[in-house]
A and B are shown apart, each in its own frame.
Chain A
Amino acid sequence: MANDRTYDAIIVGGGHNGLVNGSYLAKAGLKTLVIERRHLVGGAAITEELYPGFSFTTFSYALSLLRPDIIHELELVKYGFKPLLMESTFAPMEDGNYLLLGQDHQANIAEIRRHSKHDADAYDQYSHDVNRVCRAIKPLLDNIPPDITSRDPEELVRMASLAQHMRDLEPRVLHNAVRLLTGSAADFLDDYFESEILKATLSSSGIIGTKVGPRSQGSGLVLLYHYMGEHDGDQSSWAFHKGGNGGFTQVLARAFQGFGGEISLESPVARVITSNGKATGVALEDGTEFSANIVVSALDPRRTFLELVDPRELPSDLVENINRFRFQGTSAKVNFALDGLPKFPALGDRADQFRGFTNIGPSLDYLERAFDDAKYGWYSQRPYIDACFQSTVDPDMAPPGKHVMSGFIQYAPYDLKGSDWDTEREKFGDTVQAVLESHFPGFGDLVLHREIVTPLDIERVVGLSEGNIFGGEFLAPQMFFFRPAPGWNQYRTPIEGYYQCGSGTHPGGCVMGAPGKLAASQILKDAKP
């Protein structure tokens, strides 16, 4: 059967959503092929040994929003699913003080009291209020959103049940949800807290991956998304998958193959083949053709609608919407191989503070100023850094006693005014390293290897347009009804048999898997005779 290039379904792109989608289709009995351009699957969720003995999570670096039904329905435990615990968030301050929040509630309260007795009490209220919003919002992540443009009775029922869900919420929960979904993280946090370090630390999850500052409208939505992350039900902590997110996507690949799916690596796709408005297969750049009546793009909306197919085949309002869909990647990574763990002067020889996220963004002003630089077309001179010394959680990431650090950096806008990333890459790396040095004196002496990943590199290597880590900005006009475009938020496309399942579809980016899963349910429903 080696030359049989006919499949029931072909997925273009072996990122986590492509693999989830393929797994569900294969599990349902479809002969399924995942086609990947690179030499490994995983997309932006990969782990690479870029320096001997050191494993880098080049791009995506933590796991928290993966939908629980995917874990069970795809039997991921059987294939090696192993989410380890990142236990804390450590936030160094510019005056040498710090905030360290972890797993122990009492200890957290005591720690916050060091900064504000008021906030220690308000923290519980805040957590409770946001948790209630999360419970209200989570079902939206796990269901296909209504098509706002449709008068189909099924869609009207969907709209009605959404309205019913909202109506059933307590007014306070509903109001908080709207405040978060439409407002700024800073405004929301200002209503609870007085401590700068606490507000800054909590607000930083409102800017991750997105071109907003903590005081921009819209940062509340991003905060809410990240707040829904968890490790095994623990809202305060996230997971680091064994072997990094590359370890996780290898689990997905094994599950996919376990369900009978096939993977074709190093196979760049040139286009989706269509005939009379129907998808019939996929053509690789080398001319190889595969046929299938179901073709799924796991790429972002720009590539799905403007590159894989001829946009002239599509309705012009859709093309217009996709053309103006915001990518504007603003995040970068600077990853390090280290000779040892850095030292934080106020904590002496202690190192347990590094067993989670190290959050460098000590005040709302600091974060907002970092954003200012990006607004005017440059990278932050004092960037926000979300660092993870991942070998403290998974010692197999580095040789004994050595460490690997993933550094998520913001802001680093895709378009630099008056220069380009190939010119600025090393200077940007130095800027980041200087911030680390200022908090951890002697950091530079520990560096064995440095890897700089700019938005341009993300686009070049992974293929995410403009390096946006969410496959398109997390902005209200691009979510839910409108992701990626009104009328096309249910994973279908105007081309029959051609579907979309990437992070540019509902509910969006992060290693959630929900787009892949929900798209599969739509595909399987459509395929029923």
Chain B
Amino acid sequence: MARHTPFHERTSVLNTTQLWSHWAGYLSAQRYQLSEKFEYFAVRNSAGMFDTSPLYKYRIHGRDAETFLGGLLTRDIRKCRPGHAQYTIWCDDDGYLIEDGVVIRQSETDFLLSAAEPNLAYFQDRIGRLDVTIDDISDEVAALALQGPKSREILTKLSPEIESLRYFQTIETKIGGAPVTVSRTGFTGDLGYEIWVENANALALWDAVADASDGYGVLPFGETALLMTRIEAGLVLIDVDFSSSRYAWTDADRTTPLELGLGWMLRSIDDNERPFIGRQAIRRELAAGSRWHLTGLLIDWKDWFNLYDRNGLVPPKDHLPGAYESILYDDAAEPVGYATSLMYSPMVQRHIAIARVLPELSTPGHQVNLEVTINHKWQQVKATTTQMPFYSPPHKTA
């Protein structure tokens, strides 16, 4: 039987559709009301509450915790000071991505790492003789995200210190009487926060945030609206934009950090003081070049319109992310890449996609042709490579 998150007593009442998906064994709302698009606009124009409790959460602590994570994680954890968070990844020996997640450094020796998939055995097997303990606190700690331009104003009413919290900073504070960790992080590409709380205090936290949100047009939002915002934010998603190398069958199904646009995490790769898993393979890739480069795609709105119109159809503007991969071609009909996430973006007012292309096409402004199926035929629509994120309001990092 699917389990309930600590917020379920509230979310089950709010979810008027009773449409749930199954995430890490928990019921997770797909949408709370009849219009996921309305929830999406709450995030983009006011703020939205998202129950992100099904994330796997690991408390990693001990004298050697930094050394351990330094060897495990691709991004340099030494650069993450206490009170800060890092978006990070971990790779296998061949430099292929296993997963991504967010790590919060609560003290010199205490870290909270969250990820979408289970990693406990993999992490524990790599502790060896180091003084490190990993507690899987997934079922003991709930997480509530408040995302959107009004989130700071609302949370500041509950804890004034939050006002000065900077992008990817974290603090320990109290909300609704409950001790919480607040990180200025999220998956929406907007101003936003994630609040971590013991299960016993989860409802008190939810109620406090809901009360403080009253009158602001804040809505709970489900997975569909979250997936819309994350594509606009240019954030890649496991099992959609990449597969974990641990479970991939072929290298074609594996991805390296460089291929996924995460090269910026590799700034200290030449630092011999920090060997980490996959480092040598990534160094070889840096020298030899990558198979693919990540890019954003802007679909040519006029070509999209004309293509459907020629086929006797009204051009769709479907904001629901497509659950399929689309092949990209050059003008000579040679395959040059593939798009993994495609949607109509209300903020960009055109279709956008997250894609991988041959390295020579990775700079912005290259034209490719995206395959779409219309009237049972493969047809192609023009698209241009572009930098991501597609949507990045100034308040995201301000």
Residues of A at under 8 Å CB distance from B? Answer: 68-69, 71-72, 76-77, 81-85, 87-88, 102-104, 107, 131, 134-135, 232-234, 242, 352, 355, 391-396, 399-402
Contacts and interface: CB of A to CB of B under 8 A. Distances in A.
Nearest to A107: B34
B215 A233 contact: no
Contact of B45 (A72, A242, A400): A242
Contacts of A87: 34-35, 37-38
B314 interface: yes
Given A68-B301, A68-B305, A395 B215 contact: yes
Contact of B38 (A69, A77, A355): A355
Given A72-B301, A131-B314, 4 more contacts: A72-B302, A87-B38, A104-B34, A107-B34
B344 interface: yes
A150 B315 CA distance: 35
A401 B317 contact: no
B261 interface: no
B187 interface: no
B216 A85 contact: no
A199 B330 CA distance: 51
A232 B346 contact: yes
A456 to B, nearest CB: 35
A395 B34 contact: no
Interface stretch (B81-89, B96-104, B109-117, B347-355): B347-355
A72 B350 contact: yes
B334 interface: no
Contacts of B316: 233
Contact of B35 (A69, A76, A103): A103
B311 to A, nearest CB: 12
A401 B215 CA distance: 4
B348 A77 contact: yes
A234 B40 CA distance: 15
Contacts of A400: 214-216
Contacts of A76: 349
Contacts of A401: 214-215
Interface string B38-58: 100100011000000000000
Given A69-B302, A82-B347, A395 B45 contact: yes
A87 B33 CA distance: 11
B217 interface: yes
B207 interface: no
B313 to A, nearest CB: 8
B268 to A, nearest CB: 36
Interface in B309-352: 314-319, 344, 346-350
Range for the number of chain B residues in contact with chain A = 20 to 34
Given A68-B305, A72-B301, A395 B346 contact: no
A76 B318 CA distance: 20
A379 B322 CA distance: 51
B34 A102 contact: yes
A236 to B, nearest CB: 10
Contact of A103 (B38, B215, B347): B38
Contacts of B319: 232
Contact of B317 (A134, A135, A232, A392): A232
A99 to B, nearest CB: 14
A84 B215 contact: no
13 contacts: A76-B349, A82-B45, A84-B41, A85-B37, A87-B38, A131-B314, A233-B314, A233-B317, A234-B37, A352-B33, A395-B45, A401-B214, A401-B215
A175 B35 CA distance: 34
Residue of B38, B46, B305, B349 contacting most chain A CB atoms (<10 Å)? B38
Contact of B41 (A72, A81, A85, A134): A85
A82 B216 CA distance: 18
In the A-B complex, list the 8 residue pairs whose CB atoms are closest, starting with the nearest.
A233-B317, A400-B215, A401-B215, A395-B217, A103-B35, A104-B34, A87-B35, A87-B38
A102 B46 CA distance: 21
Given A85-B35, A233-B317, A401-B214, A395 B150 contact: yes
A363 to B, nearest CB: 26
Contacts of B35: 85, 87-88, 102-104
A369 B216 CA distance: 40
A104 B346 CA distance: 18
Nearest to A105: B34
A77 B217 CA distance: 23
A18 B214 CA distance: 40
Interface in B249-286: none
A523 to B, nearest CB: 22
B396 to A, nearest CB: 15
A234 B319 CA distance: 10
